[in-house]
Amino acid sequence: MKIAVLTGSPQKFGSSNMLAEQFIKGAREVGNTVSVIDAAQANVHPCTGCVRCGYGGPCAQKDEMGSESGTEHGIKAEIIGADMIVFVTPLYYFGMSAQLKNVIDRFCAFNGEIQRKHMKSALISVAWNAAEWTFDALEAHYKTLVRYLNFVDMGMILGRGCGTPEMTARSEYLAEAYKLGKSLKNK
């Protein structure tokens, strides 16, 4: 299975990327091909809502999403070529990072292609806060994406109390992320 891991943390060595690394390790060990798309560092412009794409593409913008008419390259090609997308983000004000949201907003130009694939998906996130309700808004957003884009949800790793890499290293969430990756036997 081809898995695209879409990371949204501007902190390359931060807690959410630590969990992503463990997920990737587990997924590769069982034969999956994994690519990492660093949304936080990508040159992706925000969706302007111009709807020139007609919700079917191509997007009018020319950037790393790969929106040039007649070509398939960039982030869009990675996503469309995958069997699964894993969304990885630190929790910022009870939602995903702006960098990850920016890329997801641009799915607008190829929603139909994503919806028809019935891809698998997962969510990996971390937060400083350890309260039970911490991830409620992010979970709701993710579940809405799963429903709208016809994803098959494979799970969520929600790292409560992972405000620093040191806190994350002492948590059970690294093992949980590895286990989730390892559970995805290559089909």
pLDDT tens by residue, 84-120: 999 999 999 999 999 999 999 999 999 899 999 999 9
Q: Where are the domains of the chain?
A: 2-182
Residues linked to residue 85 through DSSP beta bridges, in sequence order: 4, 121
- pLDDT, tens digit, 9 for 90 and up, residues 1-10: 999 999 999 8
- Which CATH architecture group holds 2-182? 3-Layer(aba) Sandwich (3.40)
Q: Model-level pTM? A: 0.94
Residue type for 6, please?
L
pLDDT band, residue 71 (cuts 50/70/90): very low
What DSSP designation does 92 have? B
- pLDDT, tens digit, 9 for 90 and up, residues 115-173: 999 999 999 999 999 999 999 999 999 999 999 999 999 999 999 999 999 999 999 99
